[in-house]
Amino acid sequence: MYGLPALIQVLTFSVLICCIRHGLSLEPDDKLQTLGNDEPNKRQLEQSINPLGGSRVLLALLPRDDESDSKEQPPQFDYAYQIKREKDGRMIICGRTTCPPGTEVNPCKINNSDDTCIGCPPGKQMLDQTRSEAYVLHCVDIPSCHNWPGTVETAENHKCTGGFRMRCRCNTEDGKCGYDPCHCMKRSCAEGESLQQNCTCKPLVEPEVTTRR
Ligand SMILES: *[C@@H]1O[C@H](CO)[C@@H](O)[C@H](O)[C@H]1NC(C)=O
Ligand SMILES: *[C@@H]1O[C@H](CO)[C@@H](O)[C@H](O)[C@H]1NC(C)=O
């Protein structure tokens, strides 16, 4: 009959004591200062907080900020600036880099150093900028213009429909024209004219202005 109300009373009391103890033990000095320098009162309160010797025992158990800050932490891996690669079963962390066209990414060999860029070897090319990834893109063979009928080698890159680029152009000296080396067009010009890259014909010499008197 008295069981339930008595239990609720005990629980309420426990929670109350618990809250007082926790609330005071977290910031005991502030709470104590509000009581002024009344020593007997202070000691009495400390004992009510913790009979084992006051709030300072609890404080000593809390982690101290200055201690955790001074501890040496291993550098945090940052995916935006670093890349992990496996080499001979061991993990190597490299700083990412971006390499301009004509070069490729050279993965770092020493742990926690940066990737570098190296120029393409002769006969190879890299048309685009590349970035450090787990696997690096290597320079590729410069396509031979022999594989594209009607083209000749040239210094600059020409783009095919679809984006493929190569240092080949349609050979106007051989009656082929256009800007897409994968799709050269055939044109023939009249005698005394030369075929232009844009498939127009241009007189070899300016027509003489004949004047008659
Ligand atoms: C490289 O350093 C990382 C920590 O930064 C370490 O986990 C890894 O084992 C090291 N790898 C080598 C090959 O020393
Ligand atoms: C074709 O190219 C020549 C120069 O090579 C230029 O004079 C001419 O205007 C161009 N024609 C067209 C239609 O673009």
**Considering only CA atoms, which residue is closest to atom 14 of ligand 1?**
111
What proportion of the chain, given as a percentage, has pLDDT over 70? 61
Residue 117 has pLDDT above 80, yes or no: yes
How far, in Å, is the centroid of ligand 1 from the Cα of 165? 40
Q: Provide the percentage of residues in the chain whose pLDDT is more than 90.
A: 44
Alpha carbon nearest to ligand 2 atom 9, residue: 200
pLDDT in tens, 19-28: 344 444 444 4
How far CA 40 is from CA of 2, 36, 46, 63, 189, in Å, comes to 40, 11, 10, 30, 116
pTM of the shown model: 0.49
pLDDT at residue 131 in the model = 96
Closest ligand 2 atom to 196 CA: 5
Residue 18 covered by a domain: no
Q: What does the chain come to in residues?
A: 213
Q: How far apart are CA 70 and CA 65, in angstroms?
A: 9
Q: Provide the domain limits for residue 93.
A: 78-141
Ligand nearest to the backbone CA of 78? 1
The enclosing H or E element of 66 equals: helix 65-70
State which ligand 2 atom lies nearest to the alpha carbon of 200. 1
Which range has the top average pLDDT, 72-76, 114-118, 163-167?
114-118
Between 64 and 181, the more confident residue is 181
Same domain for 163 and 180, yes or no, is yes
Q: Which of 16-30, 54-68, 91-105 has the highest mean pLDDT?
A: 91-105
| Pair 153, 177 in one domain | yes
Does a structural domain hold residue 12? Answer: no
Q: What is the pLDDT of residue 17?
A: 40
Task: Give tens-digit pLDDT for 159-205.
Answer: 888 888 888 999 999 999 999 999 999 999 999 999 999 999 999 88
- The CATH number of residue 136's host domain is 2.10.50
What is the predicted pLDDT for the residue at 47? 45
φ, ψ dihedrals at 169, nearest 5°: -135, 160
Query: What is the CB-side half-sphere exposure of residue 194 using CA atoms within 13 A?
Result: 8
194 lines ligand 2 (CB under 6 A): no
**The pLDDT of residue 63:** 47
The total domain count for the chain is 2
Say which ligand is closest to the CA of 195.
Answer: 2
- 3-state class (DSSP) for residue 168: strand
Nearest to 125 by CA among 166, 96, 161, 97: 166
Confidence of residue 35 (pLDDT cuts 50, 70, 90): very low
Structure tokens at 121: 């070897």
Residues sharing a CB contact under 8 Å with residue 88, sequence separation 6 or more, in sequence order: none
- 137/87 same-domain check: yes
The 10 Å Cβ neighbour count of residue 96 is: 17
The answer to whether position 8 is within a domain reads no
Average pLDDT over residues 38-67: 44
**pLDDT on residue 72:** 62
Name the pairing type of β-strands 130-131 and 98-99: antiparallel
Give the domain-ending residue among 87, 118, 141: 141
**83 located within any domain:** yes
The confidence score (pLDDT) of residue 142 equals 84
CA 119 – ligand 1 centroid, Å: 28
The answer to whether position 114 is within a domain reads yes
Mutational test site, ligand 1, from 86, 92, 109, max ligand atoms within 8 Å of CB: 92
Among 141, 157, 176, the domain-final residue is 141
Q: Which of the listed residues 119, 141, 163 is the one where a domain comes to its end?
A: 141
In a domain, 130, yes or no: yes
Asked whether residue 19 is domain-assigned, the answer is no
Q: 66 in a domain, yes or no?
A: no
